[in-house]
Every structure is written in structure tokens, then in C-alpha cells.
Amino acid sequence: MAVELADVERAAVRIAPFVDHTPVLRSRVLDAWLGAECFVKAEHLQRGGAFKFRGATNAVLSLSDEDARRGVAAHSSGNHAAALARAARARGIPAYVVMPKATTARKRTAVERLGAEITWCDDSLDARREALQGVLTRTGAVEIHPFDDERVIAGAGTAALELVAAVARLDVIVVPVGGGGLCSGTSIAAPGCRIIGAAPVDRRATVADGLRTGCSERTSAILRAHDVEFVTVAESEIEDARCSVWELARLMVEPSAAIAFGATRDAGLAGARVGIISSGGNVAPREPRVRRLSL
């Protein structure tokens, strides 16, 4: 099943009573640092602290009553797990999540607070898949994949749909890329706009824990079909971006969101009107290191 703009538009209507219409933020000093006119879609202020709530909610609400009664399940490093738990609670159905033992305490606590049943596993994709298969066999729940799901992709695209409705004449939108669900949804929701995906140099060891997976065949095909470009960002630049965004604009973003700001600096976008989807803010608050900013 292909995901089209109409699917994103229907998802926007379906999830509207449940998700926040997050603001588009502006900062002149951030513009100066990034060298572009930037419009930040603040999904780090979304319910649950990440864009993931959009896709999870669209998927859960799309289920038939019969399927919904079985509950929902997924593997996730944290944000999708919390989003799925929140969406399941809103519909009054069980949620089962598989999470790696290395998940941050903040994300672990969020999932536990939302009432999902957690199964812990080693921090590898194979371990996650094996553990999830055991959960699915035991519970009969419906799998809601973090990104390889048309309903999740359409829901994720609603963030960009709101962005392009709020800001005219964007030249480019910069989006973090892990599994490619957000970037796929963005490319569908913003036809005719240049899309840049921001990815870590080494997914296996990056501080951007939400981006440690790779794209699926489905998301890869969507990204190719929409001519999405990619910029890789070094670990030092991800941390520099996180600290700078905090210092300059007081935006508490997690590394998986900060990478989009780092990519904006690296992509040669001087003078452009740039939309940045700040994908999440689930990070323990701490004062950034003191350093001299170069504006």
C-alpha cells in the first residue's frame, strides 16, 4: 500500500483531538548561527515529547474494534514505546513494548508511567525482533512498527503538513532520519519542497539513540521516489548542535533532534528559508558545556 498526501490529510483529521498542534518557533540568533532563515517545527513540545505520538495515534485509531481488543505491541528505544503506550491508553487497550536495556532512565520511566508492559532485551536489532516475536506469540497483539507501517508514516507526516500550512515558500525541510518514517511522511506531506534527511555517520554508536536503526525497504522506496537528499553529521557536531540550540534559543532538544540543526549548518543553505522538524526532547535536563559560540 502506497502512502499518499490524502492519507496524511486524513490522518491529520483523525488524530487532531489527541495530538498537539505544535508551534513553529523563530529565533534571530539561531538564524545567525545556522546561516539561514529557519522555522522550527517544535515536535519536542508534542505530547510525550516527540513526533512519534502522531504516527502511533494514527495507527491505533485506525484499528478495527476487533483488532484493537488484542492490544498493540512494538519494539522501540523509547519514544515510539511511550507514544504507543499513550495512544493505547487513550483507546483503552493494552500496550506491550520491547525495549533495550540501555534505554535512558527518562524514556524508561515515561513508558512505565503510561502503563505499558515492558519486555527488556539486549541492545541489538536482532534481539529486539526476537523478543517482540515472543510477545506477539504470547499476547496475540497487533504489531505497530515504529516506522515500517503506512499508518505510522501518514501520522508522522502531519507535522510537516502543519509546517507548510503555517510557513509559506519554504525552500527546504531538514528532518532527522533513523528508520525513515518521519522523513518519508515529510516528503509526502510537502510535495515540491526539497527534503534533506539528517543521519549520523555511524548509526551503531551514535549518541542520537532514536536514529540507531536503518530504513526499511518501504521507507527507502518512499525516500527515493521523492528525491530526498542526505547529510551525515559527525558525533561532535551533533553535540555541538544540541548545546548551541539550548544556549541560543533555549530549546531542550534530544540528540536525535539536534542532528537536524547540525545538518542545516553542513548543507550549504545560506540565505534559504529552512523548515527544521525538531523531532523530540526526551533528554534529561542538564546545563550545556560552557564554550564560545561562533555566530
107 is catalytic: no
Closest CA to 84 of 106, 130, 124, 117: 117
Strand 24-25 versus strand 273-278 pairing type: unpaired
User: Which among 52, 76, 187, 256 is annotated as catalytic?
Assistant: 52
User: Which among 76, 77, 216, 278 is annotated as catalytic?
Assistant: 77
Question: What 3-state DSSP class applies to 118?
Answer: strand
**H-helix or E-strand containing 258?**
helix 255-266
State how far the Cα of 13 lies from the Cα of 158, in Å rounded to an integer: 9
Report residue 13: phi and psi, to 5°.
Answer: -70, -40
From the CB of residue 135, how many other CB atoms can be counted at a distance below 10 Å? 21
Q: Which three cell numbers stand for residue 146?
A: 515504529
In 69-197, which ranges are continuous DSSP H helix? 79-91, 105-113, 125-139, 150-156, 158-166, 181-189
52 is catalytic: yes
**H-helix or E-strand containing 12?**
helix 5-15
Closest CA to 33 of 174, 233, 242, 288: 242
Pair 276, 261: CB distance under 8 Å: yes
Active site residues: 52, 77
